[in-house]
Chain A
Amino acid sequence: DVVMTQSPLSLSVTPGQPASISCKSSQSLLYTDGKTYLYWYLQKPGQPPQLLIYEASNRISGVPDRLTGSGSGTDFTLKISRVEAEDVGVYYCMQSIDFPLTFGGGTKVEIK
């Protein structure tokens, strides 16, 4: 199985300040088609997860450009340029390069 490791476990951020979440995979997520199959989700309290970023760096429509997915191979980052109250929740990365699909353990983002 592809193991997905997220860090940190939690972040407490002052509004307006940046935040960064790391996701590392145990094998490359670059497929032979040239795409990288890494996804980022945000799960707000009491809600299902919502897809933010697909194929490592593409924002889903409606996701603010304060959120940026980057990385390649086995190392990926989700950056929030200026954290706002609506960014609170648990962020998960997920890979689909191979089955079984696997999620990271999650990173909880809170507002100071």
Chain B
Amino acid sequence: QITLKESGPTLVKPTQTLTLTCTFSGFSLTTNGVAVGWIRQPPGKALEWLALIYGDDVKRYSPSLNRRLTITKATSKNQVFLTLTNMDPVDTATYFCALRRHDGSLYYFDYWGQGTLVAVSS
């Protein structure tokens, strides 16, 4: 059974750095074609892709947030981390992590965590 779960602070102050953890089970980042991504959703708005990390440590970022984002992993602990620096109220959103698999067909984000709502306010 594949599961993902996001964790981290629910409230951060402007200019602070946000660090989120995605803890997963049922798959391994060492499996060929597997990657974990982060997607966010401001309240009442659409989904926005942020970052993706593959098992070989290749990383992809949203260009609009590239300078502020870092995605890393702890493969042996089945965890992926996202840091977003210089937080602003516009970064208030639910942050999701999700699984990308490629085994002949490419399944982008066929499993998602429940999401974690992060508010940015002083």
**A interface residues (Cβ-Cβ under 8 A, vs B):** 1, 35, 37, 39, 41, 43, 47-51, 54-55, 58, 60, 92, 94, 96, 99-106
**Which one, B47, B105, B113, contacts A103 given CB within 8 A?**
B47
B110 touches A54 (CB 8 A): yes
Given A1-B63, A48-B112, A48-B114, answer yes or no on A35-B49 (Cβ-Cβ < 8 Å).
no
B side interface size, CB within 8 A: 23
Which residues of B (71-116) have their CB < 8 Å from a CB of A?
A: 96, 98, 105-110, 112-115
Minimum CB–CB distance from A78 to chain B (whole Å) comes to 16
B106 and A54 contact, CB distance less than 8 A: yes
Q: Are B49 and A41 in contact (CB under 8 A)?
A: no
* B60 in the interface (beta carbon within 8 A): yes
9 closest cross-chain pairs (CB), A and B: A48-B112, A101-B49, A51-B110, A103-B47, A100-B62, A99-B60, A106-B46, A105-B46, A96-B108
